[in-house]
Amino acid sequence: MKSYIQLVQNIQIGPRVSTAQYQYTLQGIDQAELFAIAPKLQERIRQLPGLLDVNSDLQLGSRQASIDIDRDAAARLGVTVEQVRSTLYSAFGGREVSTIFTPSNDYRVILEVAPKDKEDPSALSRLHVRTHTGTLVPLDAIARVRLEAAPLSISHQGQLPAVTISFNLAPGTSLGQAVQAIEQAQRDIGMPASILAGFQGTAEVFQSSMGNQLVLIIAALVTIYIVLGILYESFVHPLTILSGLPSAGIGALLTLMAFGRT
């Protein structure tokens, strides 16, 4: 059993809920390709120093029965794909076949196999498909049942299937270092071009702010210059005051380093 401790904040950035504070989401049109590359990236991120509690919402713990139809055999026996689909839906899909009307209520009649026949995939071999001539053909004669792993649930972001990898930061590791390390890990495993990847929540906001940091600094300096110019009624005095910012910034950094603060 794994337990995760997460800080509860009054303002939560990002709608996705996970077991860790930061999220990295993969999206793709090809679901099989997405489910194949996500565990590789998760394992690569788990090996990065400074990242803790790496996990994802992809859980391939369910079993799925896939039916591969032999179209040549089905054509020889006069069975179409639609007839196979209709038979499976009647057996396991809950088809409504009739309604019983009474003076006080209505009762829908649902067609399905017995509950005991839903517990084992071998029940599929006992199904028969009715051809257009009315004869019954065993499903085993025209199809092969293949058991494979399947996800317990499929998350979506927008309209695309998505897998979210969550992580926490170790003490002394900054979010900027984690972002750079994960982007490098993505390049190392050779992410397919059809997979879209990006940070969510707090990490996404941090990455966006870092991209506009230079513009924000310039805008702040221009705003300070205008305010000082209005106060001193001069174009030169604001420049004199702003010229002391570099030395003040260096002094502040040296003071933090001297006292072991970040």
Among 109-123, 192-206, 215-229, whose mean pLDDT is lowest?
192-206
**Closest to 139 (Cα-Cα) out of 63, 81, 64:** 81
pLDDT tens column, 174-194:
888 888 899 899 888 888 888
| Mean pLDDT in residue range 201-228 | 80
Burial class (CB in 10 A: 0-12, 13-18, 19+), 79: buried
pLDDT at residue 7 in the model: 65
Q: How confident is the model at residue 119 (pLDDT cuts 50, 70, 90)?
A: confident
pLDDT at residue 17 in the model: 63
102-110 contact pairs (CB < 8 A, 24+):
none
Fold of the domain spanning 62-148: 3.30.2090
Q: Which of 40-54, 151-165, 205-219 has the highest mean pLDDT?
A: 40-54
CA–CA separation, 254 and 47 (whole Å)? 33
Burial class (CB in 10 A: 0-12, 13-18, 19+), 74: buried
pLDDT at residue 12 in the model: 58
Burial class (CB in 10 A: 0-12, 13-18, 19+), 47: exposed
| Mean pLDDT in residue range 17-34 | 84
| Domain coordinates in residue numbering, the chain | 22-61+152-211, 62-148, 213-258
**Closest to 15 (Cα-Cα) out of 162, 228, 220:** 162
Q: What is the DSSP letter of 118?
A: G
Tell which phi-psi region holds residue 58, choosing left (phi > 0), alpha (psi between -120 and 50) or beta: beta
Residue 213 clears pLDDT 80, i.e. is over it: no
pLDDT at residue 70 in the model: 92
And the tokens for 145? 């049942």
pLDDT tens column, 51-79:
988 888 888 877 888 889 999 999 988 89
| Mean pLDDT in residue range 155-168 | 86
CATH number for the domain whose boundaries are 22-61+152-211: 3.30.70.1440
**pTM across the whole model:** 0.59
Q: What is the DSSP letter of 170?
A: P
**Closest to 208 (Cα-Cα) out of 223, 221, 196, 198:** 198
Q: How confident is the model at residue 11 (pLDDT cuts 50, 70, 90)?
A: low
pLDDT at residue 207 in the model: 67
Residue 14 clears pLDDT 60, i.e. is over it: no
pLDDT at residue 217 in the model: 85
